[in-house]
Homo-oligomer: A and B are copies of this chain.
Amino acid sequence: CRCLEAIKNGTTPNIIIMLMDDMGWGDLGVFGQPSKETPNLDRMAAEGMLFPNFYTANPLCSPSRAALLTGRLPVRNGFYTTNGHGRNAYTPQEIVGGIAQDEVLLPEMLRKASYVSKIVGKWHLGHRPGFLPLEHGFDEWFGSPNCHFGPYNNSDRPNIPVYKNSQMVGRYYEEFGINLKTGESNLTQIYLEESLVFIRSQATTHQPFFLYWAVDATHAPVYASKGFLGKSQRGRYGDAVMELDHGVGVILGELRSLGLAEDTFVFFTSDNGAALISAPMQGGSNGPFLCGKQTTFEGGMREPAIAWWPGHIPAGTVSHQLGTVMDLFTTSLTLAGLATPGDRIIDGLDLTSVLLNSTLIDRPIFYYRGNVLMAVRLGMYKAHYWTWTNSMEEFKKGINFCPGEEVVGVTTHEQKEHTMQPLIFNLGWDPGEKYPISVLSPEYQTALQQITPVLEQHQKHLLPGVPQLNMCDLAVMNWAPPGCEKLAKCLKGPKSEPWKCHWPH
């Protein structure tokens, strides 16, 4: 193939991963959003390859992002907790842990092929020294280590810092405003500008680059800048989507103007399903899929995904390849002419043949919650070994991850084990996971016989990493990030009193 030849000849492409936050499969026009307000993404799909069967590695931000950058399941890279059974954990301000030192991240690898790497936006792999992006292979960073929650009072709890490289340059709700009433914030515009500056500068130096555009306007509290507020049919959430879609258009347009379009592989996806708990005003749509963020139903883990690389990836194509965010690690390495690390298990597949030659690779998808394997997909079949939405106690408080979507025996409020007789769905004819296949049917037996050995193989070789998300401590919050002195923004935290974090979901 011409393209792989080109790679071997040393003309490795630039790589841009556009990772959305809590954006759902159903939020893009090309994936069926009725409002059709994403013309730039729809055009990106028309010029590239659409993946309707693309997954995250966990239905929550931090583990998903850790998986993307390491190419490994959270249960291997340590982005999970053992404080409870089947609980999603992440990196709030009080988390003690973060990405382990012995994990190898994509930008660290790409540096070997002379790539310059920048992350713009949300990191979420730990905010303490040693966990930050520049310690893990990124050359530049503009963004934040945590979610943009707040505002806080800076006495019990500090506002979240915004970094430029290794220094804090301000805090959310202070230098970087988000108006919770109106939803106005110009952060997406700042993130766009930071990306354009990087791309232009790399175009001048002719060094290959990796841009990780981890924008977060679609994560509650949802925000958009003045020019986009009120523009969508879908409320504030839709405004945020429209602004991000616009950003995608600007970035692709910039690549074209700089003559880099044929030299840049761009992949668009999201870190987890739409947060139906915040919907509809601050949460998106998972299209026909069941439930949302926090769950291992399709709505929690199936992601919008588009690959774009004009002249290399055939335009206007659809690939039914089962893909995951971890594949972006492996695929990027291949595009950079690098091998994956040989000293550890990598879960990501190399999708270059899928992208360039439209092949299909048979592979399973594993749906984890914490270190519990909840479900496995193989081909069209998905077997649930555990089902859970959230506890009845939380549900009674109004926390509902599946609003208007109760499926009896499926969207359970107790952690229900089905390991002896998994609930199996055929996602081809039942993408909404509403009709479990009868255990008495030949189809059930066929599906089970296909999945069981894959499950056994996976579990036989599974050596869980050390869980990084067990301990919390108010002392570790962002009291005095590097750079705070210059800004006179150093705060004093309490004494260290670590506790086992409580993860209700």
Contacts and interface: CB of A to CB of B under 8 A. Distances in A.
A26 B430 CA distance: 12
A380 B233 contact: yes
A84 interface: no
Given A238-B429, A406-B406, A435 B280 contact: yes
A431 B34 contact: yes
Contacts of A36: 50, 52, 318, 320
Interface in A6-39: 26, 29, 31-36
A428 to B, nearest CB: 4
Contacts of A288: 26, 32, 34, 285, 287-288
A360 interface: no
Contacts of A429: 233-235, 237-238, 280-281
B32 A26 contact: yes
Given A33-B32, A34-B288, A288-B26, A404 B428 contact: no
Contacts of A31: 32
B318 A234 contact: no
Contacts of A287: 32, 34, 287-288
A404 B436 CA distance: 12
A50 B33 CA distance: 13
A46 B47 CA distance: 13
Top 7 A-B residue pairs of the complex, sorted by shortest distance between their CB atoms? A32-B32, A233-B428, A404-B434, A235-B429, A280-B429, A404-B407, A280-B430
Contacts of A281: 429
Nearest to A316: B46
A403 interface: yes
Contacts of A318: 29, 36
A388 to B, nearest CB: 17
A479 B32 CA distance: 46
Contacts of A166: none
Nearest to A428: B233
- Residue of A29, A36, A404, A430 contacting most chain B CB atoms (<10 Å): A404
Contact of A404 (B34, B238, B320, B406): B406
A432 interface: yes
Interface string A416-435: 00000000001111111011
